[in-house]
Amino acid sequence: MRVYETTDHPVAREMIGYLLVRGGVHILAYAKALTVATGVDVTKLLPIPKLDNRVFDEARKYEDQGVHRRLYTFSDRYYKEIVRIWQGTHPSDGQPLEVDEGAPQGGPIPDLPEVPEEFSPGISAEDFFEIAKRLQRSAGL
């Protein structure tokens, strides 16, 4: 939001407006995942500031298109369980949340060579997957 406010360049504002809306999707998805995993409504746990994208012209049009309610799997085979988290209605407008299998329309996705994942210092890939398994078991997934 701060970057958006510091520029008046139309292309920058267009891009940032879209990214604000898509970032909001991921923030809500993380909050919903934490709620499913812990049973705690995280929106009531912390004093979360109101960050309304609709105050920005370039973001408002994407919300009017429903972009803030769509979560993409970027795969036809994987992430099918995301519907257990991304369900219900959006808190800002009460409209239904949608999971779209695959990627949004756009340019072609290149088939790039594999690159080993990088993790935070001190956490190996094996540790990360073990933590993920424990969280899934705790959430009943």
> Which sequence spans correspond to the domains of the chain?
2-108
Q: 3-class SS at 136?
A: helix
User: What are 65-124's pLDDT values in tens digits?
Assistant: 999 999 999 888 889 899 999 999 998 899 999 999 988 888 777 888 877 766 556 677
Contacts of 119 (CB under 8 A, 6+ apart): 125, 127, 128
User: What are 17-58's pLDDT values in tens digits?
Assistant: 999 999 999 989 998 999 888 888 887 776 666 778 888 999
- Name the pTM for this structure: 0.70
Q: 3-class SS at 30?
A: helix
User: What are 112-121's pLDDT values in tens digits?
Assistant: 887 776 655 6
The reported pLDDT for the residue numbered 47 is 64
The reported pLDDT for the residue numbered 121 is 65
| Mean pLDDT of all residues belonging to the chain | 87
